[in-house]
């Protein structure tokens, strides 16, 4: 049973490594729960956008058969989303500690500006 006091957490560097598929049979999906204006400002390359303001209406769109890495600005909102998903049937969800701030501090790839068509969309 999920313990809401123990949120699975990983570093930005480890999350990025996992996204490369080095150790996972199924590559994780990076889910950015920040708001659209924050995502336009700076975002991790390859993430999908699901703002927390729309999360409750859309969370069922997230795959249950694929690891999810949740990210926000500093790790607080994504920790909430991680706890919610784990408490509602998802089994492999991990919060990215420090969020996009840690991602940038680690020198990991980011994009800025308006999203390209299809960028940030959930895979079909």
Q: What amino acid positions are annotated as catalytic residues? A: 72
**Closest C-alpha to 78, from 110, 123, 48:** 48
**Closest C-alpha to 62, from 87, 43, 85:** 85
Helix (H, G, I), strand (E, B) or coil at 64: coil
Helix (H, G, I), strand (E, B) or coil at 29: strand
The bridge status of strand 93-96 relative to strand 9-10 is parallel
């Amino acid at each position: 049973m999920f313990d809401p006091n123990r949120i699975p957490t990983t570093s930005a560097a480890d999350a990025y490594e996992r996204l490369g598929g080095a150790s996972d049979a199924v590559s994780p999906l990076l889910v950015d729960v920040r708001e659209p204006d924050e995502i336009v400002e700076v975002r991790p390359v390859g993430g999908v956008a699901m703002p927390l303001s729309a999360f409750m209406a859309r969370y069922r769109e997230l795959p249950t058969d694929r690891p999810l890495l949740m990210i926000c600005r500093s790790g607080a909102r994504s920790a909430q989303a991680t706890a919610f998903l784990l408490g509602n049937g998802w089994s492999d969800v991990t919060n990215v500690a420090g969020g996009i701030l840690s991602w940038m501090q680690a020198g990991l790839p980011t994009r800025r500006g308006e999203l390209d068509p299809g960028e940030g969309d959930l895979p079909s």
